[in-house]
Amino acid sequence: MIRLGRVQVKVIERVVATIPLALAVALAAFVLMRAIPGDPVDIMMGEGASSSEEEMAALRTGLGLDQPIHRQLVVYLKALLRGDLGYSIVRSRPVAQMIREALPATIELAMCAMLFALALGIPVGVVSALKHNTAFDRVSTAVSFIGVSLPAFWLGIVGILVFSMTFGWLPTSGRIAYGMEPRHITGLLTLDALLTGDMTALGNALRHLCLPAAALGLGVAAVVARVTRSSMLDVLGSDYVLFARAKGVPEPAVTTRHALRNAMIPTVTLVGLQFGSLLGGNMIVETIFGWPGLGRVVVDAIFARDYPVVQAAVMVYALTFVGVNLITDLLYTVLDPKMALE
Amino acid sequence: MGSVMMHEVASGVDAGAAAGAGMLLDVRNLHTVYPSARGNVRAVRDVSLTVAPREVLGVVGESGCGKSALMLSIMRLVPRPGRIVEGNVRLDGVDLLELSPAQMRDVRGKRIAMVFQDPMTTLNPAHRVGDQIVESLRVHGMTPSGAGRPEARRDCLRSRLWQGRRDREEERDYVIELMRRVGIASPEHRHLEYPHQFSGGMQQRIMIAIALACKPRLLLADEPTTALDVTIQAQVLDLMEEINHDMGTAIVIVTHDLALAGDFCDNIAVMYAGQIVECGPADAIMEDPLHPYTRGLLLSMPRLGSRQPLHAISGEVPDLTSVGAGCAFAPRCERRTSRCEAEESPLVQTRDGRVIRCHAGTIVSL
């Protein structure tokens, strides 16, 4: 009998609990897609009305769309249980392959946006708390309030106008210049470039990442800064911080080892939630920056009523949310030893 | 007759310097204020006290009388915007208020240690108790054997990486020994546990172990037993008594419990509205309180077997933003005269070595 640690048990529990959730999400996506008026054949053939009724009926039969909905659902679920996500109706390619291609781009963008948000938000929050009620604190609080209110697409457009059009420093769209792609390993271009040692590709990929990551990350940075500031203020007033000072702990260590570590718990919760929405909610930014990610695939698929693609993408989003939340929970146990026992 | 026996103290610097000689801690004319929206809260007003090596001093008073502010002032840890306005805090003759922040940091934890009221909130929930004990040593660049290591002083994080395995084992052994010393069972396992895995009394023992790690000469204990059950209180006090006895650590214990101070301390300082109103040997004060406030406190202590109703001091603690020219206790005092309301009594010394701040007090004693 293998003895499992608390963390392993938690992971297994979570994975098992995900299965019914995934099925429920699949069902919801299936039903909702079909509730929207118009089917893929209408959209494909619709505009010109050049095709005859017979041709369209034949196409529907070929795609199985003439079957009653419950039959379609059974076919879909059977395939799903085999791990088959089906074929894209519009592009005639396996959906799994489309997602495999697009997902790394979305993950890379979301991770860079999050890194940007943390690198900006945490220090600003900490310094605001340390310099509570000073000019820095007031200005950063005001700026972060504005940051929360600005939509990412507006920031993206302004970013393109300023940094690409006016100064010409950064590219306007795409992930990397044509022909510079590093050898495919993980699908994350920056990581692949690092692994293959291709520094030109790395630089180019990073330049492409700057604007979309900043546009997506700025709002998150503002929220992170606000949450970090308030939890830091709480913790700095706590008895254990006073006790650390009474022990003679130097001020930088009081801030990091004693205060920041405890103050990070609310921030980690927030980052988990925000990361999920960065992965799932960046369709607009991907569209503005011509970023070949899952968001664009989904937008195209929704307009084309490409049922299998939308259904699969919704499931991917749901599963990434669950995965990110699991990682967040595991991070808690590192930060807060009380959680490890519960 | 009375005026011949007493003379004013602590008003002139010369008299003060003589009184502080040979003392471990010598606080003189200390004033601490907390600015607030309603005005300056004068939490500590003209407090002078001394602590001899190995002495146990009790600072007694009701909530809000400035006891904790006094302790934090001695440590120079008064939270902003509060600040020390004037006075001296001498430790072994060195004025702590003149030290640079780095020098003061070296005093904290190493020469003066402090324990707080509520161990549940005072121990850091995110760190193992063993690590929290060791941290006191490391921040002062000390090894368990007590020798200073200058390179560790510069950066305790870096020293942790460079530290040899033998040093670490030595530290661990010291932590275990210290935990055993403060009465924690099976410390060889428990030093790896987190604060929430200990009971309140055990947490207080750990806090004391942290305070003792650098073998300080002075321990400031701010209501160390208030958050604990009565039986546990007695155990923690016993432990502190042992430490005082075996290690020679002088202790200043802040409490609102006059009976506790009477049992536990050599000397007692009674505080009211930010001032010391009576200070002297514990036995003398418990038997024959001179200041009407001390008397009131003593009368309001419940006694076993007594059928008399408990005495209560009427009135409320004054607002520390607006203390007038008269005695702060006068509005509540049964013996007040027109003089009490007009001017504050200076600190006067009685023949038996006590100091009181009262116009009427000495007359009472005669």
Q: pLDDT tens across B219-257, in order?
A: 999 988 888 888 888 888 888 898 899 888 999 999 988
For residues A63 and A109, state if they share a domain.
Answer: no
**Could A247 and B139 be called an inter-chain contact, meaning their C-beta atoms sit closer than 8 Å?**
yes
Closest residue of A to B115, CA-based? A243
The reported pLDDT for the residue numbered A341 is 54
3-class secondary-structure state, position A219 = helix
For residues A70 and A112, state if they share a domain.
Answer: no
Whether the CB of A335 is below 8 Å from some CB of chain B: the reply is: yes
**Could B136 and A242 be called an inter-chain contact, meaning their C-beta atoms sit closer than 8 Å?**
no
Query: Is it true that the peptide bond before A337 is cis, omega within 30 degrees of 0?
Result: no
For residues A37 and A117, state if they share a domain.
Answer: no
Domain assignment present for A1: no
Evaluate whether B27 touches B86 at the Cβ level (below 8 Å).
no
Whether the CB of A258 is below 8 Å from some CB of chain B: the reply is: yes
d(CA A78, CA B300): 81
For residues A261 and A112, state if they share a domain.
Answer: yes
Domain assignment present for A91: no
The reported pLDDT for the residue numbered B12 is 37
Nearest to B140 among A239, A245, A248 (CB): A248
Domain assignment present for A29: yes
Instruction: Of A51-60, A117-126, A155-164, A320-329, give the lowest mean pLDDT range.
Output: A51-60
Domain assignment present for A90: no
Evaluate whether A240 touches B203 at the Cβ level (below 8 Å).
no
Which domain does A113 fall in, by range? 100-341
Smallest CA–CA distance, residue B156 to chain A, in Å, is 9
Provide the pLDDT confidence category of residue A229 given band limits of 50, 70 and 90. Answer: very high
**Could A246 and B110 be called an inter-chain contact, meaning their C-beta atoms sit closer than 8 Å?**
no
Instruction: From chain A, pick out residues whose CB is under 8 angstroms from the CB of B227.
Output: none
For residues A179 and A35, state if they share a domain.
Answer: no
Domain assignment present for A239: yes
Domain of residue A296, CATH code: 1.10.3720.10
**Could B109 and A247 be called an inter-chain contact, meaning their C-beta atoms sit closer than 8 Å?**
yes
**Could B126 and A335 be called an inter-chain contact, meaning their C-beta atoms sit closer than 8 Å?**
yes
Q: What DSSP state is assigned to residue B195?
A: G
Question: Stretch A200-205: mean pLDDT, rounded?
Answer: 83
Q: Residues of B43-76 as b/e, b for ≥16 C-beta within 10 angstroms?
A: bbbbbbbbbeeebbbbbbbbebbbbbbbbbbbbb
What is chain A's alpha carbon radius of gyration, rounded to the nearest angstrom?
Answer: 24
For residues A331 and A200, state if they share a domain.
Answer: yes
What's the N-to-C CA distance of chain A in angstroms? Answer: 24
The reported pLDDT for the residue numbered A65 is 79
d(CA A138, CA A223): 15
The reported pLDDT for the residue numbered B10 is 39
Instruction: From chain B, pick out residues whose CB is under 8 angstroms from the CB of A134.
Output: none
Helix, strand, coil: what percent of chain B each, to 5?
40, 20, 40
Interface with A, mutate which of B124, B204, B219, B226 (most A CBs under 10 A): B124
Domain assignment present for A95: no
Smallest CA–CA distance, residue B123 to chain A, in Å, is 5
Whether the CB of A244 is below 8 Å from some CB of chain B: the reply is: yes
For residues A222 and A290, state if they share a domain.
Answer: yes
For residues A146 and A251, state if they share a domain.
Answer: yes
Choosing from A54, A81, A108, the residue where a domain stops is A81
Q: What tens digit of pLDDT does each residue of A88-123 get?
A: 888 888 888 888 888 888 988 999 999 999 999 999
Nearest to A262 among B116, B122, B125 (CB): B125
For residues A209 and A324, state if they share a domain.
Answer: yes
Choosing from A25, A50, A81, the residue where a domain stops is A81
Interface with B, mutate which of A137, A235, A239, A247 (most B CBs under 10 A): A247
Q: How far is CA A196 from CA A111, A177, B50, in A?
A: 20, 17, 71
Smallest CA–CA distance, residue A262 to chain B, in Å, is 7
The reported pLDDT for the residue numbered B364 is 46
Residues in chain B: 366
**Could B126 and A249 be called an inter-chain contact, meaning their C-beta atoms sit closer than 8 Å?**
no
For residues A328 and A241, state if they share a domain.
Answer: yes
Q: Which of A332, A132, A334 is CA-nearest to residue A232?
A: A132
**Could A336 and B122 be called an inter-chain contact, meaning their C-beta atoms sit closer than 8 Å?**
no
The reported pLDDT for the residue numbered A224 is 93
Instruction: Of A178-187, A211-220, A256-265, B284-293, give the lowest mean pLDDT range.
Output: A178-187
Smallest CA–CA distance, residue B21 to chain A, in Å, is 26
Q: Which value does ipTM take for this structure? A: 0.83
Give Cβ neighbours of residue A218 (< 8 Å, ≥ 6 apart): A116, A117, A120, A147, A150, A152, A155
The reported pLDDT for the residue numbered B326 is 79
In which residue ranges of chain B is pLDDT below 50?
A: 1-18, 147-155, 157-158, 363-366
Closest residue of B to A332, CA-based? B126
The reported pLDDT for the residue numbered A133 is 85
**Looking at the 3D structure of chain A, how many domains does it have?**
2
Q: What DSSP state is assigned to residue B142?
A: B
For residues A191 and A228, state if they share a domain.
Answer: yes
DSSP line for A61-122: HHHTTTS-HHHHHHHHHHHHHTT---B-TTT-SBHHHHHHHHHHHHHHHHHHHHHHHHHHHH
Question: Stretch A248-272: mean pLDDT, rounded?
Answer: 89
Q: What DSSP state is assigned to residue B349?
A: E
Nearest to B108 among A237, A248, A258 (CB): A248
Closest residue of A to B104, CA-based? A248
Proportion of chain A above pLDDT 90, given as a percent? 15
Nearest to B109 among A248, A335, A336 (CB): A248
Give Cβ neighbours of residue B102 (< 8 Å, ≥ 6 apart): none
Evaluate whether B274 touches B320 at the Cβ level (below 8 Å).
yes
What's the N-to-C CA distance of chain B in angstroms? Answer: 10
Domain assignment present for A237: yes
Q: Residues of B252-287 as b/e, b for ≥16 C-beta within 10 angstroms?
A: bbbbbbbebbbebbbbbbbbbbbbbbbbbebebbbe
For residues A121 and A149, state if they share a domain.
Answer: yes
